Amino acid sequence: MSPNSVLAPAPADIRFDDGRHPRAKIGYVLLATEQTVQDDVLTLRPPGVGIHFTRAAIPDSITSESLAAQAGLLADCASTLLPDGSLDVVCYACTSGSLVIGEERVFAELKRGAPGARATSLITGVIRALKTLQAQRIVVATPYLDEVNQREVDYLEQAGFDVVSLCGLNLEKDSDMVRVAPDYIAEFALAQDRADADAIFVSCGALRTLDVIAESTIVSAVTVACYRTTRDHPLSGPKDIRISPLSPLKNCSRHLDASNRRASGDLVGIALSLVSRSPLARG
């Protein structure tokens, strides 16, 4: 260093801590067209948990073909999430894409891009939640085209469930799915109720179910997707923090208990909107 340099030497005793997100760092691979999941996950983020997003290219057309094409993009997308290797969990945040591609392929691609993180997906949480609720016979409400709806029926039945009925809104554009009015989502879900079904499952993170949780005891896709990923990494710190940011879950648990359904912390396995049939019938 020259005698006239204005650059001072770096101090030798720099102090470090665990950063802003000491409890966990979670990454979400979103569709390029996504407009709902990111806002809702950030709203529901537990303290001390870092949320990181990346997006996979897709046209504004949600079809079996466009969703299947996502498989080849997941590894590269996941690799952009905290390349220092500190990511704890990586989630493919698309229900229809998860089931069209298949969980095994989704996990493999995510792990290829983020080998140090635990891989999960929205359909993984859906299946865990339905099994936790002991819901065998289900009705499903979606915004999708029937070509995607049939894939969902097949996937859920292969997972061991009896799909009593599935009704879709026949929307192709993600930009239309994100504009379905929240009050209509609740009406649409209720309209699918069947006396011989154990649960109503409302599929698609693009739907703004979070906006109507208070009125209809709907558990938001993104609420529990966020919470599912925190469960996939043991969080440090006070245990009650794992539950307190997600009051809608507690509301749902109360209704489930009232209808003699088993409800526990494992409700966080729901990765899309899941509505218990009996509480819905009661309004």
CATH number of the domain encompassing residue 138: 3.40.50.1860
Is residue 274 a part of any domain in this protein? yes
Q: What's the pLDDT band for 219 if we cut at 50, 70, 90? A: very low
Distances (CA, A) of 91 to 97, 124, 281: 12, 10, 33
Residue 41 sits in a domain whose CATH number is 3.40.50.12500
Asked if residue 274 and residue 154 are part of one domain, the reply reads yes
> Residue 76: which of 101, 27, 113 has the closest Cα?
113
**CB-facing half-sphere around the CA of 155: CA atoms within 13 A:** 23
Q: What is the pTM of this model?
A: 0.80
Asked if residue 154 and residue 92 are part of one domain, the reply reads no
Tokens of 207: 């739907």
Asked if residue 260 and residue 247 are part of one domain, the reply reads yes
- What are the pLDDT digits (tens) for 176-206? 999 999 999 989 988 988 889 888 888 999 9
Asked if residue 107 and residue 207 are part of one domain, the reply reads no
Is residue 230 a part of any domain in this protein? no
Asked if residue 131 and residue 177 are part of one domain, the reply reads yes
Is residue 5 a part of any domain in this protein? no
Is residue 49 a part of any domain in this protein? yes
Asked if residue 156 and residue 80 are part of one domain, the reply reads no
Asked if residue 137 and residue 114 are part of one domain, the reply reads no
Asked if residue 146 and residue 107 are part of one domain, the reply reads no
Q: What is the domain count for the chain?
A: 2
Asked if residue 243 and residue 157 are part of one domain, the reply reads yes
Determine the structural domain holding residue 153 and report its residue range. Answer: 127-224+235-282
Q: Measured between alpha carbons, how far is 115 from 118 in angstroms, rounded to an integer?
A: 8
Q: What's the pLDDT band for 232 if we cut at 50, 70, 90? A: low
Asked if residue 186 and residue 273 are part of one domain, the reply reads yes
Q: What's the pLDDT band for 109 if we cut at 50, 70, 90? A: very high
Is residue 80 a part of any domain in this protein? yes
Is residue 198 a part of any domain in this protein? yes
